[in-house]
Chain A
Amino acid sequence: MVAWLDTLIQGVLLGGLYALYATGLSLIFGIMRLVNLAHGDLIVFGAFLILALATALGIDSVLAFAIAVPIMFAVGYALQAFLFNRTLGADILAPLLVSFGLSIVIQNGLLEAFSADTRRLPIGEVAGMSLPLGGGIAVGVMPLLSLAAAIVVVVGLNQLFYRTGLGRALRATSDDTETAQLMGIDNERIYAIAMGLAMAVCAVAAFFLGSRAPFDPSIGPARLIYAFEAVIIGGLGSLWGTLAGGIVVGVAQTIGARVNPEWQILAGHVAFLVVLVLRPRGFFPRAVD
């Protein structure tokens, strides 16, 4: 019984990391209906950026992460302003293909710059620290922090969306781009801000990805799949749903691994398919689409 409880807790914590992967994807889809196939690679890019900043400047990974967040925002803003905005229109295939191409470019660029070697973000002793909960159950500090970070990100984004003028403009543009322009909103600038925000969240995901497990330039697409599953399970366009979706994937994976270590990844995909069959619009779909 304790072992299953432990499995559940570890799954929820893993779900926090998956929710971080997924939040940026959910945000971009919710606002501009763009499925960014390069999302996983952009998270890996963020991890290498933090590593490169820490190495080049000789600073702590946490400080490098703090510097990487605004840089990633700028990267996202520029990507949208100079690349994706040129592809948006009635045809959804063009941005999808561009994001697929971007994924290949990022993977090969990272291979060229950093080689195929696996890396890890050095964060010192905290990487191995855990908190005993009693009854033989302990939770790792970093997994706990990644879940906390996911909650902070979702709360923060919801505050932005529902309490600020920029948030209203983001939601209005998501509802009806043409009418938003008639209200004085520059939709392309709003899209660029949204992509900037998504990339800033990717930096957070990248920090926890790189500090919890080894990474290399090829692991982006798998992160994309976990993120995609979390978004679909949670319901398109809902950030709290995305958090819940991440936790569902995480719990399914740890339960699968508990039954048989080889079933970890498979169990996550099966949970996704089951939800897709039973609730095609996910747990918390947007009321208006």
Chain B
Amino acid sequence: MSAPLLETEDLTAFYGDFQALFGISLTVNAGETVAIIGANSAGKSTFLKAVAGLLPSPPGAIRFEGENIGGARPFNNVGRGIVLVPEGRRLFPSLTVEENLLIGGYRRRGRWTLSRVYELFPILAERRGQPAAILSGGQQQMCAVGRALMGDPRLLLCDEISLGLAPIVIRDIYAVLPTIKGEGTALIVVEQDIVQALAVADRVYCFQEGRMTLTGRPAALTREAIHAAYFGT
């Protein structure tokens, strides 16, 4: 059997002296969508940052296609096809929409071109020449997802892509995830919104205070089990 696309083993992460992750071990297979759910400060975003290379991790704790990438710099991980859609969008405000998209393909390009991203999010084509800073929240999130796609991700890390958006906008953004998955891209979707996460995920992990408390397929998880793993009650 081939190695999983992503594998973490006893992954720990720290912010200074504060330990944010405690021995997280999980796998993501090629083409799979995995949701990580949990309350605020559960360590979900920290996990994505560690995988992306923004936080140092122990040697051997993160493997991508069997290769140890613990301690790799973020831009090298982008070269491997690990791309993060960061929480809060974090578009480059002085760049136009199109320039933001093009920056996504700075190191690596492939299946996703400007025209394909515009097909996915037609509103971005209409606003391509405008500064990204003046887009609405939903349009900014579309631009952030499109920017990540321009880097031809093999593993797309989505950090709270529904945060602060209206339900109708969230629906539109989640509607494109099957298309992205259809390209063979694996996704890790980090969400506080359990309903959204369960709807798209093949498997779910629940974090609580930096520890994994639950794992399974959405259909196999009971409401009570999720509640207990989420809140620790």
Residues on A close to B: CB < 8 A? Answer: 165, 168-169, 171-172, 174-176, 178-187, 286-288
Indicate the size class of the contact surface on chain B.
20 to 34
B95 touches A179 (CB 8 A): no
Which chain A positions have C-beta within 8 A of B102?
A: 165, 168
**What are the 9 tightest A-B residue pairs by CB atom distance, in nearest-first order?**
A184-B107, A184-B78, A181-B74, A175-B92, A288-B93, A179-B90, A172-B92, A184-B75, A186-B75
Which chain A positions have C-beta within 8 A of B92?
A: 171-172, 175-176, 179-180
A288 touches B106 (CB 8 A): no
Quote the shortest CB–CB distance from B100 to chain A (angstroms).
8
Contact with A along B81-94 (1 / 0, CB 8 A): 00110100010111
Is B71 in the interface zone, CB < 8 Å from A? no
A-B contact pairs, 20 of them (CB 8 A): A165-B102, A168-B95, A168-B102, A171-B92, A175-B93, A178-B54, A178-B74, A178-B90, A180-B92, A181-B53, A181-B74, A182-B78, A182-B84, A183-B106, A183-B147, A183-B151, A184-B75, A184-B106, A286-B94, A288-B94
Residue of A nearest to B157 (CB): A182
A183 touches B103 (CB 8 A): yes
Q: A172-B95, A172-B103 are in contact. Are A182 and B133 (CB under 8 A)?
A: no
Residue of A nearest to B53 (CB): A181
* Complex-state Cα separation, A6 to B51, whole angstroms: 64
> What number of A-B contacts does a CB cutoff of 8 Å give?
71
* Complex-state Cα separation, A186 to B77, whole angstroms: 11
Is B52 in the interface zone, CB < 8 Å from A? yes
Q: A165-B102, A168-B99, A168-B102 are in contact. Are A181 and B75 (CB under 8 A)?
A: yes
Which chain A positions have C-beta within 8 A of B84?
A: 182
Within 8 A of A (CB), among B34-69: 52-54
A183 touches B99 (CB 8 A): no
Is B79 in the interface zone, CB < 8 Å from A? yes
B151 touches A288 (CB 8 A): no
Quote the shortest CB–CB distance from B222 to chain A (angstroms).
36
Which chain A positions have C-beta within 8 A of B227?
A: none
Residue of B nearest to A184 (CB): B107
Quote the shortest CB–CB distance from B160 to chain A (angstroms).
15
Is B217 in the interface zone, CB < 8 Å from A? no
Which chain A positions have C-beta within 8 A of B138?
A: none
Which chain A positions have C-beta within 8 A of B106?
A: 165, 168-169, 183-185
Quote the shortest CB–CB distance from A88 to chain B (angstroms).
15
B75 touches A185 (CB 8 A): yes
* Complex-state Cα separation, A186 to B104, whole angstroms: 13
Quote the shortest CB–CB distance from A86 to chain B (angstroms).
15
Is B73 in the interface zone, CB < 8 Å from A? yes
* Complex-state Cα separation, A287 to B151, whole angstroms: 28
User: Could you tell me the dominant secondary structure of chain A's interface residues?
Assistant: helix
* Complex-state Cα separation, A185 to B78, whole angstroms: 9
Is B108 in the interface zone, CB < 8 Å from A? yes
Residue of B nearest to A288 (CB): B93
Quote the shortest CB–CB distance from B161 to chain A (angstroms).
15
Which of A168, A187, A288 is B133 in contact with, Cβ under 8 Å? A288
Task: List 4 other contacts, CB 8 Å, given A176-B90, A181-B73, A288-B93.
Answer: A165-B102, A175-B93, A178-B90, A185-B103
* Complex-state Cα separation, A182 to B104, whole angstroms: 9
A184 touches B108 (CB 8 A): yes
Which chain A positions have C-beta within 8 A of B104?
A: 183
Which chain B positions have C-beta within 8 A of A287?
A: 94
* Complex-state Cα separation, A183 to B74, whole angstroms: 8
* Complex-state Cα separation, A184 to B152, whole angstroms: 11
Within 8 A of A (CB), among B103-140: 103-104, 106-108, 133
B86 touches A168 (CB 8 A): no
Which chain A positions have C-beta within 8 A of B78?
A: 182-184
Q: A165-B102, A169-B103, A176-B90 are in contact. Are A182 and B54 (CB under 8 A)?
A: yes
Quote the shortest CB–CB distance from B149 to chain A (angstroms).
12
B103 touches A182 (CB 8 A): no
A171 touches B107 (CB 8 A): no
Quote the shortest CB–CB distance from B93 to chain A (angstroms).
4
A185 touches B86 (CB 8 A): no
Quote the shortest CB–CB distance from B102 to chain A (angstroms).
6
Contact with A along B197-218 (1 / 0, CB 8 A): 0000000000000000000000
Which chain A positions have C-beta within 8 A of B83?
A: 182
* Complex-state Cα separation, A10 to B38, whole angstroms: 68
Residue of B nearest to A162 (CB): B99
Which of A174, A175, A184 is B79 in contact with, Cβ under 8 Å? A184
Quote the shortest CB–CB distance from A235 to chain B (angstroms).
14
Which chain B positions have C-beta within 8 A of A186?
A: 73, 75
* Complex-state Cα separation, A184 to B74, whole angstroms: 7
Which chain A positions have C-beta within 8 A of B86?
A: 179, 182
* Complex-state Cα separation, A165 to B92, whole angstroms: 14
